[in-house]
Amino acid sequence: MDQKLFLLLSSLSGQSVWLDKLIYFCAVLLSWVVVIVLIVWILGQKSWPEKVKGVLVFFSAGLSWWLASLFKYAYFSPRPFMELFQNKPLFTMDIWWDSLPSGHAVLFGALAGASFVFKNKKIGFGLSAIAIVIAVARVIAGVHWPSDVLAGLVFGGSTGYLVSYFFNRIFF
């Protein structure tokens, strides 16, 4: 099932130069845009408690990403282009053995999950949508299995929410 869904989604890349550029933007560059916008937004908050909440959202996401990284280095999970040699990824990857879970999906799932605790639901839903776009784009680009991004979104969202809930109970 994972391989069939991967082959279906990854067949979208390589069809058009413009579509490939859009996939690359969503899979790689969108994450930087979102992080920069969030940092500027946090710095623009008028009150210190709101700024602290924003920093704690990032801290929760970073902690979730770090926990996922520990698992990635303990568990060997090759990327799709290492198992399906006929599939070439849309962009090159230096690291080929740490596919599960997707670090991008974990990080942005955690940002979304943490935002539900500290901010309003609109931001949480917006970040959830962006996390899904990034995750699906990474499958289309051929660098992750669908199960990698699904596990990353679930792990990131749940740990981001739980860590933020814990911080919220302590500090606010």
Condensed to tens digits (0 to 9), the pLDDT of residues 114-143 reads 999 987 789 999 999 999 999 999 999 999
**Residue 62 belongs to domain spanning:** 2-171
User: How confident is the model at residue 94, as a pLDDT?
Assistant: 65
DSSP bridge pairs for 77: 98
User: How confident is the model at residue 89, as a pLDDT?
Assistant: 79
Judge if pTM exceeds 0.85.
yes
In angstroms, the CA 101 to CA 144 distance is 9
Q: How confident is the model at residue 44 (pLDDT cuts 50, 70, 90)?
A: very high
Counting the structural domains of the chain, the total is: 1
Residues across the chain = 172
Q: What are phi and psi of 144, to 5 degrees?
A: -145, 150
Q: Which helix (H) or strand (E) holds 50?
A: helix 48-74
